[in-house]
Chain A
Amino acid sequence: MENVIELQHIQKSFNSFQIRDLSINVKKGFVTGFIGGNGAGKSTTIKMIMNLLQQDSGTISIFGKSYKKHEKEIKERIGFVYDENIFYENITLKDMKRIIKPAYKRWDDKKFQHYVEQFELPLNKNMKTFSKGMKMKASLAIALAHHAELIIMDEPTSGLDPIFRRELLNILHELMQDEDKTIFFSTHITTDLDRIADYITFIHNGEHIFTKEFYKIEEEYAIVKGTLDLLDRETEQEFVALRKTNRGFEALTANKHRVATVFGDTVVVEKPTLEDIMYYTKKGW
Chain B
Amino acid sequence: MLNLILKDILIQKNILIIYIATIILYLMVNVSSVFIVFIYSIVFVLSAFSNDEKDNANILLNSLPYTRKEIVSSKYIGTLIFTGFFMFYTYLFDFLLNGKEVAVLWKEILLIMGLVMIVISFILPISYKFKTKYLTIFMMVLFAIYLVVVKSFFPNFNNLVKTVVQNFMTVQELQLYLMISLLIVLLYIGSWMLSIRIYERKAF
Contact = CB atoms under 8 A, between A and B. Distances in A.
Contact of B11 (A72, A90, A104): A90
A256 B60 CA distance: 45
A271 to B, nearest CB: 38
Interface stretch (B21-29, B38-46, B62-70, B78-86): B62-70
Interface of B is mostly: helix
A23 to B, nearest CB: 21
B55 A87 contact: yes
Interface in B151-187: none
A95 B51 CA distance: 15
A151 to B, nearest CB: 12
Interface string A34-68: 00000000000001001111100000000000000
Given A52-B203, A98-B10, A85 B55 contact: yes
Contacts of A50: 62-63
B32 interface: no
Contacts, number: 74
A71 B6 CA distance: 22
A72 B65 contact: yes
A87 B54 CA distance: 10
A47 B10 CA distance: 27
A115 interface: no
Interface string A109-148: 0000000000000000000000000000000000000000
A192 B189 CA distance: 51
A53 B56 contact: no
A88 B11 contact: yes
Interface string A79-92: 01010111111110
A189 B95 CA distance: 65
Interface of B: 3, 6-7, 10-11, 13-14, 51, 54-57, 59-60, 62-67, 201, 203-204
Interface of A: 47, 50-54, 71-73, 75-76, 78, 80, 82, 84-91, 95, 98-100, 102-104
**Pairs of residues from A and B, 9 with the lowest C-beta to C-beta distance, nearest first:** A75-B65, A86-B60, A102-B3, A52-B204, A103-B64, A72-B65, A76-B65, A53-B203, A99-B7
21 contacts: A50-B63, A51-B62, A52-B63, A54-B203, A75-B64, A75-B65, A76-B65, A82-B63, A85-B55, A85-B56, A86-B56, A86-B59, A89-B55, A90-B11, A90-B14, A95-B10, A99-B7, A100-B64, A102-B6, A103-B3, A104-B65
